[in-house]
């Protein structure tokens, strides 16, 4: 459970390349997967110094089954997680680089807002361009070019490399083929039922 900072889950494939599987921020339970499924199929890593709370596996299971409401919430958490994975499959598999980056910028925009870590149209990018590359299945060089393109098109502004300002949110979302449905947010809150 992340209290502050950012975490990622990733895998290293044969050629030594890395794929970032998901990005996690304050208030999210990163590792229910590895808790219930005994063998871990990926690695978890903090991006920066931050605080996490550890909860024993046995406590989790106990809680889940003694308190149905909590159990359901945890289950739904894993389902939302899977939903985001599916959108990433589609994003990486079928969108070109510029669209892909725009899509991720939109996802982060909304999720950071929900976590209380930024404004919907102005936030601090938690990832380096190299990490963005590993998240989108691109190279750092091409990530840079895609960001520069979005900037040149006026879809985003950047006063420093990591600050993202979205002038017209709707326009970026359209360009990035972004529909927030897959995040399963309700009234700007994480889904609970």
Position 60 contacts DNA (CB under 7 A): no
The torsion angles phi and psi of 138, rounded to 5 degrees, stand at: -120, -175
Q: Site size for its own copies, by CB under 8 A?
A: 52
Position 190 contacts its own copies (CB under 8 A): no
Helices (H), the chain: 32-36, 57-66, 68-94, 97-114, 129-136, 140-152, 169-175
Q: Which of 5, 27, 71, 190 binds its own copies (CB under 8 A)?
A: 71
Please say whether the beta carbons of 3 and 55 come within 8 A. Answer: no
Please say whether the beta carbons of 185 and 192 come within 8 A. Answer: no
Span interacting with DNA, options 32-40, 72-80, 92-100, 113-121, rule CB under 7 A: 92-100
Sign of CA pseudo-dihedral 57, 60, 65, 71: negative
Can you list the pairs that 68-73 forms with residues at least 24 positions away whose Cβ atoms lie under 8 Å?
A: 72/193, 73/192
Span interacting with its own copies, options 9-17, 51-59, 107-115, 117-125, rule CB under 8 A: 9-17
Reported residue count of the chain is 193
Q: How far apart are CA 163 and CA 159, in angstroms?
A: 6
Position 154 contacts DNA (CB under 7 A): no
Span interacting with its own copies, options 19-27, 46-54, 119-127, 160-168, rule CB under 8 A: 19-27
Binding site for DNA (CB under 7 A): 96-98, 125, 128-130, 137-142, 144-145, 147-148, 158, 160-162
Binding site for its own copies (CB under 8 A): 9, 11, 13-15, 17-19, 21-22, 32-33, 36-39, 41-42, 61, 64-65, 68, 71-72, 75-76, 78-83, 85-95, 99, 136-137, 177, 181-182, 184, 191, 193
């Amino acid at each position: 459970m992340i209290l502050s900072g950012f975490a990622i889950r990733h895998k290293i494939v044969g050629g030594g390349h890395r794929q970032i599987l998901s990005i996690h921020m304050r208030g999210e339970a990163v590792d229910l997967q590895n808790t219930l499924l005994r063998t871990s199929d990926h690695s978890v890593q903090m991006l920066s110094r931050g605080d996490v709370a550890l909860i024993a596996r046995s406590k989790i299971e106990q809680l889940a089954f003694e308190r149905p409401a909590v159990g359901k919430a945890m289950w739904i958490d894993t389902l939302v997680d899977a939903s985001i994975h599916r959108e990433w499959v589609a994003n990486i598999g079928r969108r070109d680089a510029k669209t892909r980056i725009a899509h991720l910028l939109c996802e982060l925009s909304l999720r950071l807002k929900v976590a209380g870590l930024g404004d919907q149209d102005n936030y601090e990018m938690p990832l380096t361009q190299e990490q963005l590359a590993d998240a989108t299945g691109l190279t750092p060089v091409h990530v840079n070019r895609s960001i520069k393109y979005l900037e040149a098109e006026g879809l985003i502004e950047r006063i420093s490399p990591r600050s993202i300002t979205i002038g017209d949110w709707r326009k970026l979302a359209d360009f990035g083929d972004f529909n927030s449905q897959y995040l399963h947010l309700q009234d700007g809150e994480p889904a609970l039922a």
